[in-house]
């Protein structure tokens, strides 16, 4: 099972998830504030309704005599007003001065507004500090009783009726609701962010399929984007496939032009070489030498052009073992009179990330060079070294000194003209290897001769 790739800060997935998370947090905070205020308003409204009922009961229990004095009927009042500091209180204060009448729950204390506002019907709402440092909600109302003991009309006595109740229970209910709301919204927010994360990962899966398909093409495991894609991605996949096909077509035409140019140049050079051979004078010798140099340079740069063109084609993949086996079989036949032993050791799954023709060019030059100088034994070994192929070609010939190893293969320079060849083999190998970001190193072999170690990009076989 493949683990999900880490989300980078500059990725599309991170932007989508971050934007969704920010909007989710803002929406939940706004919704939480609205719900909290709505709950607070509802609870406080119910509390004020109960306080209004207490005020109605207090007014209903109050009677008056002929002088307008208050006479209370306790049976109309709640028993909570009888318990000291119970949180429910009432008091009746004569307007204009006089001794107040208070509930048993107040003992010897009175209620004083800390803030107040006049509501409908002339009732006064506000808050006060209770006898036990309680936070009280207070309701006050002016009530007038007629005085019938005198004959004067409209002779009344006014009282300020006040009821108060502790808001501790209300505050607790609001705090509990807010706590539940916070934890609920935190869990909901995390769930929404997780859902967005899953949605983004699933929604962007087709793009990851395109990335994987391009990686397979780059690694040489496919020649085009394969599979079905959503309607939004299908045009992109079609355009990429068209681009890959167009690139392959352009490179193919360029390589055809290179091949045609090679054939065109070889004929004039052959004619010049034949004419120079027929002329035994100094001019013929100069022309013959220059024609050979031109042939080497043409072969050299045509080989580089073919390799550079191959690099522009995506999806190149070549198994190494068949190429080495074919080369060994051909070279055994070419050197049949010498009875050379050419040993090849290569894993069957080892693959080169490039064209077969370029691998044949490089390996062929190295193995052919070893065969020319070998006394009878050539060993070819290819193995995987991380992301690279390490191809080693050894022989039991005379080998080269360190100074000679630095000179051989540079600009077609030859150290020994007695052996057939153009002298460009190692130079071509170096140039083509550089195009693939590879290297060629020459050193001594345990077999006694030269060992050429070629490093090239490999394709690591993956299982799905």
* pLDDT tens sequence across 328-378: 998 888 888 888 898 999 998 888 888 888 888 889 889 998 898 898 899
Q: Which of 261, 310, 301, 445 lies closest to 366, judged by CA? A: 445
Q: Does position 314 have pLDDT exceeding 70, yes or no? A: no
Instruction: Specify the pLDDT at position 231.
Output: 77
Confidence of residue 399 (pLDDT cuts 50, 70, 90): confident
User: Tens digits of per-residue pLDDT, 194-216?
Assistant: 888 888 888 877 777 777 777 77
The string over 79-118, giving b where at least 16 C-beta atoms fall within 10 Å of a residue's C-beta and e elsewhere, is eebeeeebbbbbbbbbeeeeeebbbebbeeeebebeeeee
Rounded Cα gap, residues 265 and 273, in angstroms? 12
Which DSSP symbol is given to 227? Answer: S
Q: Which residues of 389-423 are buried (b: 16+ CB within 10 A; e: fewer)?
A: bbbbbbbbbebbeeeebeebbeebebeeeeeeebb
pLDDT of residue 419: 46
DSSP letter assigned to residue 30: H
d(CA 223, CA 217): 6
pLDDT of res. 262: 67
H or E element: which one contains 402? helix 402-407
DSSP 176-226: HHHHHHHHHHHHHHHHHHHHHHHHHHHHTHHHHHHHHHHHHHHTTS-SS--
Residue 32, classed as helix, strand or coil, is: helix
Task: Report the run of H or E that residue 357 belongs to, with start and end.
Answer: helix 356-373
Burial of 459 (C-beta count, 10 Å sphere; 0-12/13-18/19+):
buried
Contact (CB, 8 A) for 382 and 346: yes
CB-based contact 21:195 (threshold 8 Å): no
Residue 236 phi, psi dihedral angles, 5° rounding: -65, -45
Q: What is the secondary structure of 427-449 as a DSSP string?
A: HHHHHHHHHTT-EEEEEE-TTSS
pLDDT at 2: 43
* Residue 35 clears pLDDT 60, i.e. is over it: yes
- The strand order across the sheet containing 113-118 reads 101-102, 88-94, 156-166, 135-146, 124-129, 113-118
Question: Which residue shows structure tokens 């706004």?
Answer: 30
Mean pLDDT, the chain, integer: 80
Q: What is the mean pLDDT of residues 411-437?
A: 64
* Mean pLDDT confidence for 92-98: 85
How far is the C-alpha of 278 from the C-alpha of 174, rounded, in Å?
Answer: 114
Residue 452 burial (10 A CB sphere; 0-12, 13-18, 19+):
buried
d(CA 227, CA 334): 47
Q: How does residue 140 score in pLDDT terms, banded at 50, 70 and 90? A: very high
Q: What is the pLDDT of residue 143?
A: 86
Q: Mean of the pLDDT values across residues 257-266?
A: 69
Lowest-confidence segment of 139-153, 295-309, 412-426 by average pLDDT = 412-426
Distance of alpha carbon 400 from alpha carbon 410, whole angstroms: 15
pLDDT per residue as tens digits for the range 68-88: 677 787 777 888 888 888 889
Q: How far is it, in rounded angstroms, from Cα 392 to Cα 453?
A: 4
User: What mean pLDDT is predicted for residues 45-53?
Assistant: 91
**How many H-runs (helices) and E-runs (strands) does the chain carry?**
9, 15
How far is it, in rounded angstroms, from Cα 246 to Cα 244?
Answer: 5
CA 54/CA 88 separation, integer angstroms: 9
Place of tokens 């769930």: 191
pLDDT band at 461; cut points 50, 70, 90: low
pLDDT for 408 equals 67
The pLDDT of residue 418: 46
Q: Residue 280 above 80 pLDDT?
A: no
pTM above 0.85, yes or no: no
- 3-state DSSP assignment of residue 398: coil
* Band of residue 417 on the pLDDT scale cut at 50, 70, 90: very low
Neighbouring CB atoms inside 10 A of 276's CB total 20
Question: pLDDT tens for residues 143-153?
Answer: 888 776 655 55
Cβ distance 430 to 362 under 8 Å? no
Give the best-scoring range by mean pLDDT among 244-248, 267-271, 378-382. Answer: 378-382
Instruction: Name residues whose C-beta falls within 8 Å of residue 105's C-beta, 6 or more positions apart in sequence.
Output: 80, 81, 82, 83, 84, 85, 86, 87, 88, 89
Bridging pattern class, strands 388-395 and 450-459? antiparallel
Give the model's pLDDT for residue 460. Answer: 59
Over range 166-180, report the average pLDDT: 92
- Structure confidence at residue 3 (pLDDT): 40
For 263, the token pair is: 């054939």
pLDDT of residue 308: 54
Q: How far is CA 315 from the centre of its chain?
A: 26
pLDDT > 90: percent of the chain: 22
Whole-number Å distance between alpha carbons of 227 and 216: 13
Residue 61 CB neighbours (<10 A)? 16
Say what the pLDDT of residue 422 is.
Answer: 44
- Per-residue pLDDT, averaged over 123-138, amounts to 89
* CA–CA distance, 169 with 415 (Å, rounded to integer): 104
Which has the higher per-residue pLDDT, 95 or 5?
Answer: 95
């Amino acid at each position: 099972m493949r683990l999900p790739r880490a989300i980078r800060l500059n990725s599309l997935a991170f932007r989508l998830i971050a934007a969704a998370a920010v909007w989710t947090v803002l929406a939940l905070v706004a919704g939480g504030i609205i719900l909290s205020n709505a709950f607070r308003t509802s609870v406080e409204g119910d509390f004020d309704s109960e306080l209004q009922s207490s005020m109605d009961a207090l007014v209903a229990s109050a009677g008056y005599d002929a002088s307008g004095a208050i006479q209370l009927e306790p049976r109309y009042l709640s028993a909570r007003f009888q318990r000291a500091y119970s949180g429910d209180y009432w008091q009746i204060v004569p307007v204009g001065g006089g001794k107040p009448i208070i509930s048993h729950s107040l003992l010897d204390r009175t209620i004083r507004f800390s803030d107040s506002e006049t509501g409908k019907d002339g009732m006064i709402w506000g808050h006060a500090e209770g006898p036990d440092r309680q936070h009280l909600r207070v309701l006050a109302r002016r009530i007038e009783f007629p005085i019938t003991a005198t004959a004067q009309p409209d002779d009344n006595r006014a009282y300020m009726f006040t009821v108060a109740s502790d808001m501790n229970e209300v505050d607790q209910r609001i705090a509990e609701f807010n706590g539940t709301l916070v934890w609920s919204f935190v869990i909901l927010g995390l769930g929404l962010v997780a859902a967005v994360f899953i949605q983004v990962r699933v929604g962007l899966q087709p793009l990851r399929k395109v990335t994987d398909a391009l990686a397979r093409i780059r690694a040489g495991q496919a020649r085009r984007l394969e599979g079905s894609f959503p309607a939004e991605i299908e045009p992109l996949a079609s355009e990429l496939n068209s681009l890959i096909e167009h690139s392959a077509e352009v490179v193919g035409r360029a390589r055809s032009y290179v091949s045609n140019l090679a054939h065109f140049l070889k004929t004039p050079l052959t004619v010049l070489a034949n004419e120079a051979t027929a002329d035994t004078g100094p001019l013929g010798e100069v022309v013959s030498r220059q024609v050979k140099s031109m042939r080497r340079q043409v072969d050299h740069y045509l080989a580089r052009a073919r390799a550079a063109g191959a690099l522009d084609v995506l999806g190149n993949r070549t198994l190494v073992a068949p190429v080495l086996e074919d080369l060994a079989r051909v070279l055994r036949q070419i050197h049949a009179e010498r009875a050379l032993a050419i040993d090849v050791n290569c894993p069957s799954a080892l693959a080169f990330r490039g064209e077969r023709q370029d691998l044949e060019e490089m390996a062929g030059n190295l193995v052919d060079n070893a065969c020319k100088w070998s006394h009878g034994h050539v060993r070819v070994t290819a193995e995987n070294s991380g992301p690279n192929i390490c191809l080693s070609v050894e022989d039991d010939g005379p080998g080269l000194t360190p100074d000679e190893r630095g000179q051989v293969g540079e600009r077609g320079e030859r150290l020994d003209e007695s052996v057939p060849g153009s002298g460009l083999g190692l130079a071509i190998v170096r140039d083509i290897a550089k195009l693939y970001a590879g290297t060629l190193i020459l050193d001594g072999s345990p077999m006694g001769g030269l060992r050429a170690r070629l490093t090239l990009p490999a394709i690591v076989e993956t299982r799905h």
